[in-house]
């Protein structure tokens, strides 16, 4: 498999995460110290709280997605490692964050790293947990959100991109939701989009590849508008 990454995009956001979190944390501490030593300066701790909290949340957001060893781009690449060179995986190069293009079609991936039990009933997602744990996950920006909606929006964005740049027929796009944490336990019924654990992703793709191939003329049209793959994964 060939991998094409937007290295500048990843590097910029990793830098933001690495700086925003500690700076925000320092501002929070300074605000607390000010409130203890100079109680008459009541406005400064309040401002420090909002600025510091905002920066730490920005930092956590980018650290999760662009710094951690199990960040979405790295985890997905590892999960797909071993596919043959007919496949090209694009990270942050197209309107959808993660796109796999191969002889059997185009797929977009929404990557989730949540652990524990994850339920989906007819596109309604939840994670059973107590209120304290739910609050802590919210603080750590580890909430599940609505993966179905995210996947639909990303696939639609890529579909519009192809419609603007291709003069051929419509390219079929299959969105996929992937959970990469080793401790994720999926309980899915009635999801309109395929949901796969990362450790089973290659096996699932190989089964799906037997369902059909992308016509040769559409493949050639795609390669003319897509960034050239120049690295192996």
Cα-based distances in Å from 26 to 54, 68, 100: 12, 21, 41
What region does 82 belong to: left with phi over 0, alpha with psi -120 to 50, or beta?
left
> Is pLDDT at 231 greater than 50 in this prediction?
no
Give the distance from CA 129 to its chain's centroid: 23
Mean pLDDT of the chain, nearest integer: 90
> Is pLDDT at 121 greater than 70 in this prediction?
yes
DSSP E strands in 166-230: the ranges are 173-179, 184-189, 195-197
Residue 136: predicted pLDDT:
65
Residue 139: predicted pLDDT:
66
Instruction: Determine if the pTM surpasses 0.85.
Output: yes
At 30, list the tokens: 């300074």
What percentage of the chain reaches a pLDDT higher than 90?
Answer: 69
> Is pLDDT at 104 greater than 80 in this prediction?
yes
């Amino acid at each position: 498999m060939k991998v094409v990454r937007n290295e500048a995009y990843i590097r910029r956001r990793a830098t933001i995460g690495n700086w925003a979190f500690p700076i925000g944390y320092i501002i929070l501490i300074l605000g607390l110290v000010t409130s203890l030593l100079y109680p008459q300066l009541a406005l400064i701790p309040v401002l420090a709280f909002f600025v510091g909290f905002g920066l730490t949340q920005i930092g956590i957001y980018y650290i999760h997605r662009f710094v951690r060893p199990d960040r979405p781009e790295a985890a997905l690449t590892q999960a797909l490692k071993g596919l043959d060179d007919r496949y090209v995986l694009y990270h942050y190069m197209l309107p959808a964050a993660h796109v796999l293009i191969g002889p059997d079609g185009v797929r977009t991936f929404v990557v989730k790293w949540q652990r524990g039990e994850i339920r989906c009933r007819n596109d309604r997602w939840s994670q059973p947990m107590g209120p304290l744990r739910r609050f802590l996950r919210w603080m750590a920006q580890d909430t599940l959100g609505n993966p179905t909606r995210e996947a639909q929006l990303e696939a639609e964005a890529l579909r519009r991109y192809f419609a603007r740049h291709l003069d051929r027929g419509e390219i079929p796009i299959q969105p996929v939701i992937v959970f990469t944490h080793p401790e994720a336990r999926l309980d899915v019924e009635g999801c309109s989009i395929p949901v796969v654990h990362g450790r089973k992703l290659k096996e699932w793709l190989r089964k799906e590849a037997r369902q059909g191939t992308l016509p040769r003329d559409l493949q050639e049209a795609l390669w003319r508008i897509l960034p050239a793959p120049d690295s192996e994964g």
